[in-house]
Chain A
Amino acid sequence: MPPFSRRVHDLPHLGVGVSTEFGAARAPGALDVFALAASHPSRAAFLELGVELEKGLDDDARRWIAQGRPTTYHFLDVNLHDADDFDDEWLAGVNALVAASRPAWVCGDAGAWHFGRRDRGHMLLLPPILVDDAASALARGVARLREATGREVLPENPPGAAFVGDLHLLDFFARVAERADTGLLLDVAHLAMYQHVTGRDALDGLDAFPLERVVEIHVAGGERRQTSDGFSYVEDSHGTAVLDATWRILERVVQGASNLKAVIFECERNPNDSVDAGFDRIEATLAGRRW
């Protein structure tokens, strides 16, 4: 297999898009992706399908696919660092949906989507343990899923309030990228959460991070919260109010992400008339880039 530095040139430039998951579009006040595609085609250039295999694709996702529009496949149900999670039944199901949706690539949060086995009530999303061995295990999972699906697999830095381990989150994902020889999905809102709860500046660690590995970026609103005993954290609300720290990270990353192919504004829970400001700023940040 050619190295990532060559493979990445075969990946399509998708531009700016939005994300969805099962039933999201039918929730009250949710984004209408088809209306967005009609009114602002460049803001819905592709749809990221958040997929939990047990639920599959909803009617809106199927309609999008049937129209031949571009997609990416965002898994919501595999712990990439856990070899026991790659059972044959799950892999067969993923391959069937990949064949049906023809995504440009597969991506998803590289954390614990569930504890123990995949089952009702087991779902959660916790960040990985930030140690070297976990980076190696995660890299093996990325390579395994890439081989099984025949698609590039872009691990994403997950959200969280409690990050355990002796590595900086960005150092951890740099090691994953190198060992799996893969591209990355950098969620700049999730990174802002990490920097906040660990008391770091928003841009801490980015100078040493291999930005050329970043193929996709997620931008999303977040809300500062405090636990009843005073711990300050950021909730991954996916609202339209994007933190300043998130914008700062986006601007810095875009400068160096020479292989950037796609940016998602994760605003699926918000009505169409509330998302313009976010898209405006993303477009301004990306202005001048060749897609």
Chain B
Amino acid sequence: MDFRRVERAALLLHFDGGWATRILDGDVLGLTGAEKAMLRAVDRRAFRADPERAARAAAVIVAELPVAIAVAGVPRLLSFFRADAFVDVIVGRAPLVVGAADFLDSAPARIEGAVGRARRRRHVDVGDIVVAPHVAAALVPDGALAQWTAARQSLGDDAVAAIGAGRRIAWPAFDDAEAAGVLVTGDAANPAVGPCTAALARLLHRLEDGVDLAAFRAVACAEGCDDDAEADALLADLVADGLLRRG
């Protein structure tokens, strides 16, 4: 009996009754027979006493991913709470907003997900070299950042209300999904979103969990540096620009 596993299962059942079949008759979370029996002993209707639970969590996501949700639609967002990606958030202790952005996996979701990651990034000793607090990057198609900027402005100051009122945004088709970089800087309350090269975005993305110097050099050379000396010079520049921190 692993009560943590049972707790996660109960949590999913509180969010969406659709989990019952997958958890109790399937192998989501890998519950044992005894653990399933413990959950079956509870009247399933009890888990749905607060049917607005997912909607409240969704409101938080809408506030941080407004363009992504206006593009994808609220029903698509609510499907997140029935998806394996939601389980990953719970088990992996990941931010809900970032998990939802990854689940939506669109250009606006990547931009707004990067803002969410930057907002939550604090200084932690996770390696010799790590992305600085309140910095994050994303890869998007050429033209997507300008499209996102216009879309965000069109939603106005109260984007949550606009989306709640049914506002949708049409998103054009782009070609190469990872042709351009988006860089988020600033602070948690006032993030600045701007363009960067795709190479820099890829580099920063791979450094989010921290790396040692050798790993940094390898990543930097994969992104265009000719040798370790050039990688070291790049590192110095990125630290000076406040995009990276050294432990």
A: which residues have CB within 8 A of B? 81-82, 84, 89, 112, 115-117, 119-122, 124, 126, 128-129, 131, 133-134, 137, 161-166, 197, 225, 227, 229-231, 233
Contacts and interface: CB of A to CB of B under 8 A. Distances in A.
10 contacts: A81-B3, A115-B90, A116-B91, A120-B95, A122-B57, A129-B10, A133-B1, A197-B43, A227-B48, A233-B49
A234 to B, nearest CB: 9
Given A126-B14, A129-B10, A229-B45, A84 B38 contact: no
B142 to A, nearest CB: 32
B46 A134 contact: no
Interface string B50-78: 11010011001100100000000000000
A233 B97 contact: no
B166 to A, nearest CB: 22
B92 interface: yes
Contact of B45 (A116, A122, A128, A227): A227
> Which 8 pairs across A and B sit closest by C-beta, in order of nearness?
A121-B60, A231-B45, A161-B49, A162-B46, A134-B3, A117-B93, A129-B3, A116-B93
Nearest to B13: A162
B221 interface: no
B189 interface: no
B103 interface: no
Given A116-B90, A126-B10, A121 B45 contact: no
Given A116-B93, A120-B96, A121-B61, A126 B39 contact: no
B49 A121 contact: no
B11 interface: yes
B42 A117 contact: no
Given A119-B95, A121-B97, A164 B64 contact: no
Contacts of A121: 56-57, 60-61, 96-97
Nearest to B60: A121
A89 B122 CA distance: 11
Contacts of A117: 93-95
Contact of B39 (A122, A161, A164, A230): A164
B92 A116 contact: yes
B182 to A, nearest CB: 22
Given A120-B64, A120-B95, A126-B11, 20 more contacts: A81-B3, A115-B8, A115-B90, A116-B90, A116-B94, A117-B94, A119-B95, A119-B97, A120-B97, A121-B96, A121-B97, A122-B96, A129-B3, A129-B6, A133-B2, A162-B49, A163-B42, A231-B46, A231-B48, A231-B49
B89 interface: yes
B120 interface: yes
Interface string B1-35: 11110111011011000000000000000000000
Contacts of A115: 8, 11, 89-90
A84 B94 CA distance: 13
A137 B3 contact: yes
A161 B46 contact: yes
B47 interface: yes
Nearest to A231: B45
Contacts of B94: 116-117
Contacts of A81: 3
A51 to B, nearest CB: 20
A120 B7 contact: no
A85 B47 CA distance: 24
A225 B51 CA distance: 13
Contacts of A126: 7, 10-11, 14
Given A116-B89, A121-B60, A162 B10 contact: yes
A117 B45 CA distance: 27
Contacts of A165: 3, 6, 38
B49 A225 contact: yes
Given A115-B90, A120-B60, A162-B14, A230 B95 contact: no
Contacts of B46: 161-163, 197, 231, 233
A285 to B, nearest CB: 29
Contacts of B43: 162, 197, 231
Given A115-B90, A116-B93, A124 B64 contact: no
Contacts of B122: 89
Contacts of A166: 38
A129 B94 CA distance: 22
A161 B50 contact: yes
Nearest to B48: A227
A12 B53 CA distance: 39
Nearest to A225: B49
Contacts of B14: 124, 126, 162
